[in-house]
Amino acid sequence: MTLPSDNKLDIRPLSQIYNNTVTTYKYYWFVSILDIVSKEGRRRISFWEIIVGMVAEAWYPIHYFRLSYGKSDSLYEQIIELQHKLNIPIDAQKTDIKKRIINNLENSQIKSLLRVFILNVPYRFLSPWIHFTTNADVSIQSKTFANNCLYAIDGEYIDVNSSWQQYLTDHYAILRDFTFWNLTIFLQKRNPNVPDIPSKLIKPIQRNSLTKQHHFWDAYIDIVGSIKCIYTGKTLHKNEYDLDHFIPWSYVCHNLLWNLLPADSSINSSKSNNLPSLDDYLRPFAQMHHNALKELYPRNPSNKLLEDYLVLDDSISELVGYSDEDFFRIYQKTFSPMTQIAANMGFSYWQNPLVK
pLDDT for res 205 = 52
pLDDT for res 282 = 96
pLDDT for res 212 = 93
pLDDT mean over 206-225: 89
Q: Is the pLDDT of residue 93 over 60?
A: yes
Which region among 90-94, 203-207, 269-273 has the lowest average model confidence (pLDDT)? Answer: 203-207
pLDDT for res 60 = 86
pLDDT for res 295 = 95
pLDDT for res 207 = 65
pLDDT mean over 189-212: 78
Sketch the domain layout of the chain as residue ranges: 12-200, 211-345
Long-range contacts of 219-225 (CB under 8 A, 24+ apart): 219/296, 220/291, 220/292, 220/295, 220/296, 221/262, 223/295, 223/296, 224/291, 224/295
Which region among 45-59, 60-74, 215-229, 309-323 has the lowest average model confidence (pLDDT)? Answer: 60-74
Confidence of residue 199 (pLDDT cuts 50, 70, 90): confident
| φ and ψ at residue 82, rounded to 5 degrees | -60, -40
DSSP state of 126: T
pLDDT for res 70 = 79
Model confidence over 74-88: pLDDT tens digits?
A: 888 899 899 989 988
| % the chain with pLDDT above 90 | 67
How far apart CA 287 and CA 116 sit, in angstroms, is 51
Interhelix angle 108-115/47-60, rounded to 10 degrees, is 80
pLDDT mean over 35-45: 94
Confidence of residue 61 (pLDDT cuts 50, 70, 90): confident
How far apart CA 332 and CA 283 sit, in angstroms, is 8
pLDDT mean over 271-294: 94
pLDDT for res 151 = 97
pLDDT for res 251 = 81
How far apart CA 288 and CA 217 sit, in angstroms, is 10
pLDDT for res 42 = 93
CB atoms under 10 Å from CB of 64, counted, come to 18
pLDDT for res 65 = 77
CB-side exposure of 176: number of CA atoms within 13 Å?
17
Confidence of residue 286 (pLDDT cuts 50, 70, 90): very high
- Strand 157-160 versus strand 44-46 pairing type: antiparallel
E strand spans, the chain:
44-46, 151-154, 157-160, 227-228, 235-236, 242-245, 260-263
Q: Is the pLDDT of residue 331 over 70?
A: yes
Q: Is the pLDDT of residue 206 over 70?
A: no
Which region among 50-54, 190-194, 223-227, 311-315 has the lowest average model confidence (pLDDT)? Answer: 190-194
pLDDT for res 201 = 83
Q: Is the pLDDT of residue 354 over 80?
A: no
Model confidence over 98-152: pLDDT tens digits?
A: 999 999 999 999 999 999 888 899 999 999 999 989 999 999 999 999 999 999 9
Interhelix angle 25-40/172-190, rounded to 10 degrees, is 160
For the chain, the average pLDDT equals 90
pLDDT for res 228 = 94
